[in-house]
Amino acid sequence: MAQPWKKKTCYWMKAMLLALWFSGIHVLADAAAAVSKEQNQLRFSKEGQFKILQVADMHFGDGKSTPCKNVLPNQMRGCSDLNTSAFIHRMIQAEKPHLIVFTGDNIYGKDAKDAVASLNAAFAPALSSNIPWAAVLGNHDQQSTLSREGVMKYIVGMKHSLSQLNPPGVNIIDGFGNYNLEVSGVEGSSLHNKSVLNLYFLDSGDYSTVPSISGYGWIKPSQQFWFQRTSKKLRRAYMSNPEGQKSAAPGLAYFHIPLPECASFDSSNFTGVKQEGISSASVNSGFFTTMVEAGDVKAAFTGHDHLNDFCGELLGIHLCYAGGFGYHAYGKAGWARRARVVLATLEEREKGGWGEVKSIKTWKRLDDKHLTVIDAQVLWSKTSAGSRRKKKIGGI
């Protein structure tokens, strides 16, 4: 009895696999562009450091003709998207990051006549710096002349962009711009060929398409499944070293829309400010729990709420906003536009050479005369991680 049924399933599955294989061809073609990026391998510096500049919510429009929003009355004149570009230039000069991450609403589609022109202008400072960069989508990027897929495809093809459309070999995943980047140990060190810091990028969507659910999008099960598998694969590869790393390499996640868990903090347990509500999806799709389970992600960085710039820690994971960056994005007059920096530092080994990630720090800089540094804090450190974790769990 069971035989014919089994056979049928088998044919059905074969047909299905064949269909998947064909639909996979275009995915592979898209991935081909990423192959040449292999030599653009991210790596810790000779000083054992890796620094990431996060730019959230540029909201780029048409450039010079697109005015600033929410600046002081005496700052309105001559203020435009060009001020956003100038701020990126200054941040790059001041911090000299190894990677620039744009966490969505890179362009404000409604006010961009031509998506390609707007994207070119928005990312121009990153391109001209010759620093590798990566981007994810927000909820406004697709509101000009390109779809979400179109915007992400265009971003993937830009100079020095390490962004990817979606993971190669994965045929069914929601959104555009789900990918990971590996940061290898110092050149010539024993961890030269190991990813000692893992970066995850996810498309947190735009708006709900489910009639009974209102509001913003969320990270779907298909994306979480990809994250789970990727994290597991990376943990295995890292700990299968002859040197035998005892725990997973730390990870950082970047996406646009904050998780509902951001609402579990107040000024008694976050660093920074909260000046507006948490505009997460109206449902909780469980990505925070998925990250806690995986165990490697130490911090997740978002944008979306321009007036919030805090970091708070829940169950060993910091949830951090970058604060609004762009001048055409809503903001608060007199409250400076800002950016977040993350610095990962390796441990120095006795016999010279560099080891695993020792600490992850963050701070923000304001777009004022001196690019003032504020809210410097340690997000994670190797030695204290174990005991802190234990304390937290004991306290529940």
Ligand X SMILES: *[C@@H]1O[C@H](CO)[C@@H](O)[C@H](O)[C@H]1NC(C)=O
In 10 A of CB 228, how many CB atoms? Answer: 14
Judged by CB under 6 A, the chain residues 308 through 337 that form the site for ligand X are: 314
Q: Rank residues 176 and 310 by Cβ distance to ligand X and give the closer one.
A: 310
CB of 187 to ligand X, least distance (A): 9
Q: Rank residues 266 and 293 by Cβ distance to ligand X and give the closer one.
A: 266
CB of 114 to ligand X, least distance (A): 23
Stretch that binds ligand X, among 160-168, 172-180, 266-274, 303-311 (CB under 6 A): 266-274
Among 266, 276, 293, 348, binds ligand X (CB under 6 A): 266
| Tokens matching residue 293 | 């389970």
Say whether 320 sits in a helix, a strand or coil.
strand
| Tokens matching residue 118 | 């707007």
Task: Quickly tell me which residue has 């390109």 as its tokens.
Answer: 146
Judged by CB under 6 A, the chain residues 42 through 71 that form the site for ligand X are: 71
Pair 136, 177: CB distance under 8 Å: yes
The residue count for binding ligand X (CB under 6 A) is 14
Among 193, 240, 241, 284, binds ligand X (CB under 6 A): 193
| DSSP E strands, 91-154 | 99-103, 133-136
| Tokens matching residue 150 | 């179109």
Alpha helices (runs of H) in the chain, residue ranges in sequence order? 2-35, 81-95, 115-129, 148-156, 221-239, 287-294, 382-395
Task: Quickly tell me which residue has 């929410």 as its tokens.
Answer: 70
Residue type for 21, please? W
CB of 81 to ligand X, least distance (A): 10
Residue type for 268, please? S
Q: Rank residues 3 and 268 by Cβ distance to ligand X and give the closer one.
A: 268
Does 289 help bind ligand X (rule: CB under 6 A)?
A: no
Does 264 help bind ligand X (rule: CB under 6 A)?
A: yes
Pair 204, 177: CB distance under 8 Å: no
Pair 72, 333: CB distance under 8 Å: yes
Phi, psi of 57 (to 5 degrees): 55, 65
CB of 327 to ligand X, least distance (A): 7
CB of 289 to ligand X, least distance (A): 14
CB of 55 to ligand X, least distance (A): 16
Among 240, 241, 269, 282, binds ligand X (CB under 6 A): 269
Binding mask 74-93 for ligand X (x = CB under 6 A): -x--xx---x----------
CB of 267 to ligand X, least distance (A): 8
The span from the CA of 105 to the CA of 59, in Å, is 5
Q: Quote the DSSP letter at residue 161.
A: B
Q: Using alpha carbons, select from 144, 235, 179, 212 the residue that is nearest to residue 37.
A: 179
Q: Rank residues 335 and 363 by Cβ distance to ligand X and give the closer one.
A: 335
Q: Rank residues 214 and 269 by Cβ distance to ligand X and give the closer one.
A: 269
Q: Rank residues 64 and 110 by Cβ distance to ligand X and give the closer one.
A: 64
Among 192, 332, 358, 388, binds ligand X (CB under 6 A): 192
Alpha helices (runs of H) in 157-211, residue ranges in sequence order? none
Q: Rank residues 84 and 142 by Cβ distance to ligand X and give the closer one.
A: 84
Q: At what angle do helices 287-294 and 221-239 cross, to 10 degrees?
A: 10
The span from the CA of 54 to the CA of 258, in Å, is 15
Does 268 help bind ligand X (rule: CB under 6 A)?
A: yes
Residues in touch with ligand X (CB under 6 A): 71, 75, 78-79, 83, 190, 192-193, 264-266, 268-269, 314
